[in-house]
Amino acid sequence: LTGVLDDCLCDIESIDDFNTFKIFPKIQKLQERDYFRYYKVNLKRPCPFWADDGHCSIKDCHVEPCPESKIPVGIKAGSSNKYSKAANHSKELEDCEQANKLGAVNSTLSNQSKEAFIDWARYDDSQDHFCELDDERSPDAQYVDLLLNPERYTGYKGPSAWRVWNSIYEENCFKPRSVYRPLNPLAPSRGGDDGESFYTWLEGLCLEKRVFYKLISGLHASINLHLCANYLLEETWGKPSWGPNVKEFTRRFDPIETKGEGPRRLKNLYFLYLIELRALSKVAPYFERSVVDLYTGNGHEDAESKALLLEIFRDTKSFHMHFDEKSMFAGDKKGAKSLKEEFRLHFKNISRIMDCVGCDKCRLWGKLQTQGLGTALKILFSEKEIQNLPENSPSKGFQLTRQEIVALVNAFGR
């Protein structure tokens, strides 16, 4: 894949170079640190759009649970949304000084912790959320260790998986029913069209709606790439073996096999990367304040995590071909405002569709990456609020929960 991306002045080779040598090694290290490997998620929320067609019974779809004793004290001690020492209770810290290694899933919380969750949840975030957020106070919300539950192909496929993506594209990408996506099995056969009519339609859209489609397509490509790269190859002596499946990758992305569609999907992945990279460079001032520590209860590790995160921010700022979001929602105020709201509601709907994914592991990573992208969009539309943050106190104008921070870093890491 080579050349310039549409809708931004950036070439693929520059992104590859920048990512491989500067960003990827550091973001990979960051994802392994306690603060970022640990995500709270409710995998039991019912699908709001259609009757549940039963959860995946394949054992590799399961998300691995884990005892509470493994969860870092600073994360479980109080409000899961806060990230500074001041937000947590010293008594609970003393009780659990040793518990600074992470586990996968925690479903039990003390009453004191529950009260702390509720206090913080009452805080009314004045920013528009782009995602339907899980209620972290729900007894069904569990802590998951992302390193123990990697994103990979579990065998989940077929009508259930197809319906999720079809619903996302058909109902939430500003697309009329009469326009068919390339390679859509429901499209009437039109001889040699190969999706050209779809791209003629896409080019006719305003920039914002075109960007929306590309972000969703990029997210889809990212998930598919990870499934191809970490595929269930065979079971030997009852032990599963995972690895790259070149044949599956070719089927999904090869220019000839996909009639030119594969490279477009991959370009949209690069576009998604640029949007999330831009969000990281924009949110740096939020984290540069001394009031923010990435708090787990282990002071030495927390300081190292923050230093590494700030180093990544410096790198993102040094990239010279950022996507310029100023061209978005720049029309007349009234029209721009209603388009932004439409954009937000479409994206929120997509985050709700993730509750319809039948495989728990796929649902976990779908929800995390959708929340990560939703957080990136929230950042890009809050530039003024971020610039006006007070140095030494929590801000009412712009706030990120711990969940959003973890989702943003891990989605970009993907």
Which of 344, 395, 404 minimizes the C-alpha distance to 123? 395
Alpha carbon of 172 to those of 169, 209, 217, 343: distances in Å? 6, 10, 12, 9
Give the three-class secondary structure for 38: strand
| Strand pairing category for 239-243 and 38-42 | unpaired
Residue 397 near residue 389 (C-beta atoms within 8 A): yes
- Tokens at 138, concatenated: 């729900």
Report the distance separating Cα 95 and Cα 206, nearest Å: 56
Instruction: Supply the angle between the helices 261-288 and 246-253 in degrees, to the nearest 10.
Output: 100
Pick the closest to residue 173 from 208, 137, 127, 148 (CA basis): 208
Cβ-contact 154, 361 below 8 angstroms: yes
Q: Taking the CB of residue 148, how many other CB atoms lie within 10 A of it?
A: 16
Bridge partners (DSSP) of residue 235 are 240
Residues belonging to the binding site for FAD are 152, 154, 165, 217, 220, 252
Which residue numbers are catalytic?
A: 359, 362
Closest CA to 322 of 280, 386, 283, 277: 277
Binding-site residue ranges: 152, 154, 165, 217, 220, 252
Query: Exposed, middle or buried by CB within 10 Å (0-12, 13-18, 19+), for 82?
Result: buried
Which amino acid is residue 198, in one-letter code?
F
* Terminal-to-terminal C-alpha distance of the chain: 19
Dihedral over Cα of 178, 163, 377, 26: its sign: negative
